[in-house]
Chains A and B, each alone.
Chain A
Amino acid sequence: DAGITQSPRHKVTETGTPVTLRCHQTENHRYMYWYRQDPGHGLRLIHYSYGVKDTDKGEVSDGYSVSRSKTEDFLLTLESATSSQTSVYFCAISVIGSPAGNLGYTFGSGTRLTVV
């Protein structure tokens, strides 16, 4: 996905360990988002950022923290991973916040995280 990169693409970790997922953009967009996608639940917003060091909670923020020290990077940290956090995590960017005009969100390719 042009302009947005997620790393790692796949990760297996043990319960109780901290995990950090990275989202990197080259579009200089102000807004960045972290979603998780699970069968039966669809995409759910974890946290989002509307600028450097400006973040806010989404629908399912418990157990997650985020940081944005540079425009281009948005980090998602699972402080102590649990099996319920096994999921596919997507980062998204947008030019402006909602309403997003005619451009919508641009999503990364996702990180598949398995907590064993």
Chain B
Amino acid sequence: SQKIEQNSEALNIQEGKTATLTCNYTNYSPAYLQWYRQDPGRGPVFLLLIRENEKEKRKERLKVTFDTTLKQSLFHITASQPADSATYLCAPDNYGQNFVFGPGTRLSVLP
């Protein structure tokens, strides 16, 4: 069965550093992968989508990579700020039907 793992449940980094979050998937080959941000008590907010033929995608301080050989996506936040503290979810597509969400990584950026 499909399995999606995100590197750790929680990640603490110092303000100004680059945060790197990992999303690994097994037993299928998604054509697309999305990343979302979720704040406590709120619904997830869409950040970026990357396609299987795109190795890298950037949006402001965010960068996403997609390695279909390793079955992995990396999500980077450069020059991190305390306001970046949130839970980040990856969501590979499910055989083109819909998106399946990973358990999330809770990022804390310490001032």
Interface set of A (CB-CB < 8 Å, partner B):
1, 33, 35, 40-45, 48, 58-59, 90, 92, 97-110
Contact = CB atoms under 8 A, between A and B. Distances in A.
A103 B46 contact: yes
Contact of A41 (B45, B98, B103): B103
Interface residues of B, number: 25
Give the 8 A-B CB pairs with smallest separation, nearest first: A104-B46, A107-B43, A43-B101, A42-B103, A99-B32, A98-B93, A98-B98, A42-B101
Give chain B's interface secondary structure class: loop
Contacts of B94: 98
Contacts of B34: 100, 104-105
Interface string B35-60: 01000011111110101000000000
